[in-house]
Amino acid sequence: MKLVTFTHNGSTRAGALVEGDLVIDLHAADASIPATLLELLQGGHDAMQCAKDIAQSGADGIALTDVVLEAPIPRPGKALAIGLNYRDHAEETGQEIPKHPIVFSKVTTCITGPGKPIHIPRVSSMVDWEGELCFVIGRTARYVEREDALDYVAGYMIGNDVSVRDWQSHAATWTTGKGFDTHGPIGPWLVTSDEVDGSDLHIQTFVNDVLKQDSTTAQLIFGVPDLVAYLSSAFTLEPGDVVFTGTPSGVGVARRPREFLKPGDTVRIEIEGLGTLENPVTEEPV
């Protein structure tokens, strides 16, 4: 099932994307289904099953071209990310393969959706792309064993861990360089984990139709089960929390000469089975 957050006629709510590029307004079809995707995930198995039943019912939908897709989880409780999680990316940046996941937070106000602009901020021109697989937590998780970890994953989507490289180096935590407004595009939809296996998906990033990153999630140093087990041992993961799993080689800062995004560029990330996330690059509005 493909779950979306969409805006139509001035109202933003949760929907299911079905064949024929139709979006079913889940709450309108069944008032017992929460109106937001975050609330839907918080509703647990029963709410998700109701949504699936509606998606498969042939209910009337709205043409995809008539809605605006938003970030599937516009304001997650936590937006976590993993650094240096592809072997080739660690090698291209000259850093050792990590022994444990390198975890940082992306400020949740950085989250934005498909088609929304990535801003070049007034304080830096060193803005880089990072195409990533994201997963979303579907059940409260604490001290989860690796073998049970996928039971806590609601689904997968595409993310772009946009990075302001000079600000990233201001401190060891990376928080400021990874959390600028608009620097966390996610989407275009959440594909539930019963329909996709995140362990071996082809991932590509294009800038202005030029291929920059080309890899597979099989190259992750710490896979999704590892991350759920590790993160849930530190703190409680809650429904709707988003985890960016890391980026493969091909980022701009590691190229010679270095390459950074500029106004007028377009970043397109494609992950097998998850669709395409595309965002224009613009100057930050005054």
Q: What is the mean pLDDT of the chain?
A: 96
**H runs (alpha helix) in 73-173:** 87-92, 165-168
CB 108 within 8 A of CB 186: no
Residue 59 pLDDT class (50, 70, 90 cuts): confident
Residue-wise pLDDT for 18-58, tens only, equals 988 999 999 999 999 999 999 999 999 999 999 999 999 98
- Any idea of the CA torsion for 66, 14, 163, 200, to the nearest 10 degrees? -100
State how beta strands 22-25 and 11-18 pair. antiparallel
pTM of the model: 0.97
Q: Going by C-beta distance under 8 Å and a sequence separation of 6 or more, which residues neighbour residue 107?
A: 79, 175, 179
What's the pLDDT at 94? 82
**CA gap 233, 146 in Å, rounded:** 11
- Any idea of the CA torsion for 203, 40, 43, 140, to the nearest 10 degrees? 30
What's the pLDDT at 34? 96
**H runs (alpha helix) in the chain:** 26-29, 37-42, 44-55, 87-92, 165-168, 175-178, 224-234
| pLDDT of residue 89 exceeding 90 | no
Residue 277 pLDDT class (50, 70, 90 cuts): very high
Q: Is 29 helix (H, G, I), strand (E, B) or coil?
A: helix
**CA gap 187, 191 in Å, rounded:** 10
Decide yes or no: CATH 3.90.850.10 for domain 79-283: yes
**Structural domain boundaries of the chain?**
2-70, 79-283
Task: Identify the CA nearest to 244 among candidates 151, 129, 120.
Answer: 129
Residue 124 pLDDT class (50, 70, 90 cuts): very high
Mean pLDDT, to the nearest integer, of 204-223?
Answer: 97
CB 69 within 8 A of CB 5: yes
Question: CB neighbours (10 Å) of residue 19?
Answer: 8
